[in-house]
Amino acid sequence: MRALNKTDISVHAGQARPLTRQHFGAKNIHGESGLDGTDLLPKLRPEDKTSGKKGVLAMAEGILAQPKGETMLVATGSMTNVAILISLFPEIIDWLKGVVIMGGAVAVGNVTPVAEFNIWVSIPRIYIQLIKFQSDPEAAEVLFSTPVLAEKLIMVPLDLTHSALLTEAIEERILTSNPSKFRQMWVDLGRYFAERYANVFGFTLGPPIHDVCAVHIAGLVGRGVQSEKDGRWYGKKMICHVETGDGRTRGQTVCDLWNYIEGHGKITVASDIEVCPITPEMNVDYLVE
């Protein structure tokens, strides 16, 4: 928040571990700090700390304080906090306009052959043979298997995010259109991510900007831009399940493209997004000097 000059926004700590499993971080991708790759982040000050309020309770209070049907909820990590939220406060579902999650895959995973990291959560590749199935797909299945919530749920899978790459050409436009410390920090983080993604997954054109895609779609839906409208994004309704067993497919999002499965409400699986260029007039220069 200090880097964004938004210290008036409270930060609340979420759950420290999955619902039933032990947690492991993705240091092989994001580094020891989770934001490795830049020295431009402001130094933490004594007042830079979480609020002390449980994240789930803060979410409930914030959502219920808004008019019914106007709030977009975005989850860009594991689904643990959202699963607990709707379990404790099922009435919140009526308050939500939509829920967008960055996670899952229709085809190929990125932490196992079929599972995506945020659904599996969260074993570094080196540990896959050493630690059996420490994850939280159960939380994701809570979301997918709650019919009234599923109808408001949009999954932004790897199949989409791997089409939105932070290329060198985009980095150059970010830096040259209106140079600033904030833009340099953003590019530094992107370049570190690119190097890690290239080493682990073989992506050489640039890393996918996973979470940005989810936030962008949430913004579009929040403003009333539904799937296919104006060609901004596209998604298809389908029944999806999360594999929660202890086999090789644990964490897989099984998406029924052909409507074979009978079951709970259909979620929207996003499959395409309009990638917008960075322009000089975009106001993304917030970093405190």
Judge whether 210 counts as a catalytic residue. Answer: yes
- The single-letter DSSP state of residue 71 is E
Q: Which of 135, 100, 95 is nearest to 270 (CA)?
A: 100
Whole-angstrom Cα distance, residue 34 to residue 30? Answer: 5
Contacts of 224 (CB under 8 A, 6+ apart): none
CA 160 to chain centre: 12
Considering the candidates 210, 216, 241, 264, report the single residue annotated as catalytic: 210
Residue 265 in contact with residue 159, Cβ under 8 Å?
Answer: no
Q: If you count DSSP H runs as helices and E runs as strands, how many of each does the chain have, helices first?
A: 11, 7
CA 200 to chain centre: 19
Residue 78 in contact with residue 85, Cβ under 8 Å?
Answer: no
List, in sequence order, the alpha helices (H) in the chain.
27-30, 55-64, 80-88, 92-95, 117-120, 137-144, 147-150, 158-161, 168-177, 181-201, 210-222
Structure token pair of residue 26: 């993705």
Whole-angstrom Cα distance, residue 289 to residue 185? Answer: 12
Structure token pair of residue 138: 């159960």
Whole-angstrom Cα distance, residue 240 to residue 255? Answer: 4
Catalogue the active-site residues: 210
